[in-house]
Amino acid sequence: MRYAAYLLIVATLGYLLTGVTQVRPGERAVVRRFGKIVDKPGPGLWVGLPYPFDRVDRVPIDLVRRVRIGYRPDADETEETTPPGQILTGDQNLVNAQVLLDYAVRDEAIEDYVVNADRVEGMIARAGEAVLAQWVAGHTVDEVLLRGKVELPAYLTQHAQAYLEPHHLGVVIQGASVAHLLPPTEVKREFDAVTSAQTQIRTLENVARQDAATRLRQADAERYQLERQTAAYVHEQISQAKAEAETFTRRLKQYLHLRQTNPNFLATIWWEEMGKLFTQMKANGRIDLLDNHLGGDGLDITIAPALPKKK
């Protein structure tokens, strides 16, 4: 009899402990009492009514879940039906596409997730399939194969989230990636050849752009150098002109002052300038000293400069 009482006490305590729940870090709990949500406790120990009066669902908030959509390489393609993930492009070609959607539970809408938990991934898969088919149908096969892996992730993330919002699932699409995007096996070789040719074209275009950029930089450097040389030459000419003008002004004042006491001062200036002129003409080969033409018979000036060549 005493043994039965102990068993009853232990069973009662065990039953009461069903109302105690430990919520771990990174989790949120949703407590439903008779089906109605009464509390959403955070990490820690939560004590409520025992089962079945209270039902506690613990949901990892920090966990990122993944849904795989579309083509499966291991699927049997021998069937008459269209393989999963084989989508028609805008120019009536087929491509095999598989994408991954990553989602997490929204903390502020955790009750929506708990209520709809059994259909969340199915709804995400349907939304991803619809958005994927919409994007592929709006592009040619070349655009899909060349730009899909770059443009599709952002497009899927934005539009799949917009598709899910009216259903209040309590989740947010955090990102997307393209796992598989290729033409069907029957035409893969031809598409590979086209892709290789287009890659070569883009390579040549990049080389041409780089060469053009290099030439533009060289032209800019030459222009800058010419501008600096021109500015230096202009500055030099202006400085020289100012110096000559100052010298002329100074000599003019000197002449006006000295001509009253030295009438021959102007002749001195004239011979000084003529000396400079003769020196320049001699340097250019236009005149020569008569001493070079003196011989035993006297002065020989029969040598004349050669006539200029006809053009």
pLDDT single digits (tens) 229-266: 999 999 999 999 999 899 888 877 877 777 677 767 66
pLDDT (0 to 100) of residue 307: 46
Q: What is the dihedral of CA 240, 241, 243, 249, to 10 degrees?
A: 160
Q: Is residue 108 within 8 Å of residue 137, measured between CB atoms?
A: no
Strands 171-182 and 54-60: unpaired
**C-alpha span between 139 and 61 (Å, rounded):** 37
Q: Where are the domains of the chain?
A: 2-60, 65-183
**C-alpha span between 248 and 175 (Å, rounded):** 83
Quick one: three-class SS letters along 213-282?
Answer: HHHHHHHHHHHHHHHHHHHHHHHHHHHHHHHHHHHHHHHHHHHHHHCCCCCCHHHHHHHHHHHHHHHHHH
Quick one: which of 144, 150, 137 has its CA closest to 195? 144
Which residues are CB-contacts of 20 (< 8 A; sequence separation ≥ 6)?
A: 45, 46, 47, 48
**C-alpha span between 184 and 290 (Å, rounded):** 101
pLDDT (0 to 100) of residue 16: 57
Dihedral of CA 60/64/70/73: which sign?
negative
pLDDT (0 to 100) of residue 156: 95
Specify which residues 177 forms β-bridges with.
100
Can you identify the CATH homologous superfamily of domain 65-183? Answer: Band 7 domain (3.30.479.30)
pLDDT (0 to 100) of residue 158: 94
Residues of the chain falling short of pLDDT 70: 1, 6, 10-20, 38, 42, 44, 46-49, 53-54, 74-82, 186-188, 259, 263, 265-266, 285-311
Q: Is residue 84 within 8 Å of residue 72, measured between CB atoms?
A: yes
**80-131 pLDDT per residue, tens:** 466 778 898 998 888 999 999 999 999 888 888 888 889 999 999 999 999 9
Q: What is the dihedral of CA 269, 274, 280, 282, to 10 degrees?
A: -140
**C-alpha span between 201 and 193 (Å, rounded):** 13
